[in-house]
Every structure is written in structure tokens, then in C-alpha cells.
Structure 1
């Protein structure tokens, strides 16, 4: 793996972490807290995709990347459902 790809992946992870930190520290009104939590979960999903693609080399293995992407997506949808469930009842 090239140094440029590693550096790009690291910078992407730092930017996504900074954005999620800013969102988590921001004081949102009551109606917007669910949206903020959803945004943080989406950013965590993006960070997991970067780690899988760049650092574990799944960018060069599309079959495995698709499989891990589906599993990760289903897991994130489950987490999102568990996070939003108390708001619906």
C-alpha cells in the first residue's frame, strides 16, 4: 500500500472523527437530538468503511468488500433501529 493511500485514509478518519466530535459536543434542541445521533452513527459507518477499504485492503477485493459492506450496513441499520426505538414508543 502506498504512503499516499495511507495518508489519505488517515486524514479522512481524522476529519470524520472531528466532525462526529463537534456534533456530539453541540447543544441541540430536544427535537434534533435523534438527528444528531443518526449523523454520528453514519459517520462511524463511514469510518469503518475507510478502515476496511484502506487498511485491510478490501479496496482490491471487491467481492469481500461487498460482503463486509452488506454486513456492516445491516449492523448499522440494527443499531439505528435500537437507537430510535425509544423515540417511537
Structure 2
């Protein structure tokens, strides 16, 4: 993925997050949608800008830790919602 395409993906994900937040949608589903978009943004940043894609083993480990963290945060969003 080129740097320009990565930037475009980040912009699209940010606009989607902003649209959900601005729409006034509340509750668990909005929180989960925004967290999912943030997870995608984190993956783009880690793999493209920090070049973790060049170290596949490390990339998988970081993706696992990030996935566990996001699952925990999403679980808290569901429990608190």
C-alpha cells in the first residue's frame, strides 16, 4: 500500500468515525462501530507508517496484542452500555 493510499484510508476511516459521532447515534452500537474504525486506523498506522509489515512475526504479535486490547475495550463498552 502506498503512503498516499494509506493516508486516504486513514482519512476515510476518520470521516466515518466523525459521521457516526456527529449523527448523534449513541449507545453500544455506535461505540463498537467507532472502536472498530479506530482498530482499522491503528492497523494502517502500524503496518504502513511504522513499517511493521516488513517484520511479519512482530506484526502478528502486535496485531494480537492490539486485538486483545480492543476486545477488552469493546467488552467494557458492552458492559457499560
Q: Could you say which TM-score interval applies, normalised by the shorter chain?
A: over 0.9
Show CA shifts across 1:14-53 (max 9, x none): 000000000011133xxx6211110000000000000000
Structure number with greater CO (CA < 8 Å, separation at least 6) is 2
* TM-score after normalising by structure 2: 0.92
In structure 2, how many angstroms separate the alpha carbons of the residues matched to 1:55 and 1:86? 33
| In the alignment, structure 1 residue 73 sits paired with structure 2 residue 70 | no
CA RMSD of aligned residues (A): 1.3
For this pair of structures, how many residues does the alignment match? 81
In structure 2, how many angstroms separate the alpha carbons of the residues matched to 1:12 and 1:64? 23
* TM-score after normalising by structure 1: 0.84
In structure 2, how many angstroms separate the alpha carbons of the residues matched to 1:80 and 1:86? 10
In structure 2, how many angstroms separate the alpha carbons of the residues matched to 1:27 and 1:11? 25
**Uncovered stretches (5+) of structure 1, i.e. residues with no partner:** none
Where does 1:1-89 land on structure 2 (aligned, <5 Å)? 5-28=2-25, 33-87=27-81
The structure having more radius of gyration, on CA atoms, is: 1
